[in-house]
Amino acid sequence: MKDYLRPFLKNRKAMFLAYDHGFEHGPKDLIGKSLDPEYILDLAVKGGYTGIILQKGIAEKYYTGTKYQRQIPLILKINGKTNLRSQEEPYSAINCSVEYAKELGAQAVGYTIYLGSEWEAKMFEDFGKIQEEAHSLGLAAIAWIYPRGKAVLNETSSGITQYAARIGLELGADLIKIKYSGSEETMREVIKTAGKTKVVLSGGPKTEKEEFLEEIKKVISAGAVGVAVGRNVWQRDEALAITKKIRQIIFQ
């Protein structure tokens, strides 16, 4: 089977910079310089990230055909939702085709599945098609798998995170982006459950620096291939300095 993730891995490890928050959370997340997509792209290149995560419009206007396209591979996030509607039973609509993602220069597509939501069946159906199309075009299929909805009592318990990991494997995701399950031991089980599907940690809201780095150390030691982080990096003035620390942990 083709290694669709090859463009994104360095020594079999990954370090992705996520920047789809203007859509998901609104501009309130885009503090200071991070409002400017070019600042983020420069940070991604200078910081040695192995992939950048963008929505379609930002890719079109700031990535495709620019120097950045030659400098860093793109994961195009092809669905998105705002945080304005009730979050009780989330569904995130597709806003870009896999074919167009490829035209924009993406080497992977990303899609969020809210495991446990009333709409999970629709998301499984969407991702099923996306995964097949991505592979037929030579792109990797990456799933953000976030347990959410009334049926989910604890979104980051080890049991539900393990379930998310298995769903990623069974749906054929090349890589999944999931939240921290609370400890290195439980993450080890989660990653084992994902089998040959690779796992990266989803960063979460900005936290205390040492706590964040400690979490990364644990997930890497548990077998994750890397991280896909946003706010914990670019919401800091010292974004490049924390990037260096993350890079050392991942690629050491």
Rounded least distance, CB 101 to ligand FBP, Å = 16
Rounded least distance, CB 230 to ligand FBP, Å = 3
**Of 193, 197, 251, residue with least CA distance to 226:** 251
For ligand FBP, the closer of residues 65 and 150 by Cβ is: 150
Q: What are phi and psi of 152, to 5 degrees?
A: -105, 110
For ligand FBP, the closer of residues 132 and 151 by Cβ is: 151
Instruction: Report the interface residues with ligand FBP, using CB under 6 A.
Output: 18, 20-21, 24, 144, 146, 202-204, 229-232
Burial 60-82 (b: 16+ CB within 10 A, else e): bebbbeeebbeebbbbbbbbbbe
For ligand FBP, the closer of residues 68 and 146 by Cβ is: 146
Rounded least distance, CB 45 to ligand FBP, Å = 19
**Cα(18)–Cα(160) distance, integer angstroms:** 23
**Of 199, 208, 207, 206, residue with least CA distance to 181:** 199
Rounded least distance, CB 243 to ligand FBP, Å = 13
For ligand FBP, the closer of residues 2 and 27 by Cβ is: 27
246 with 50: CB under 8 angstroms? no
Secondary structure letter of residue 63 according to DSSP = I
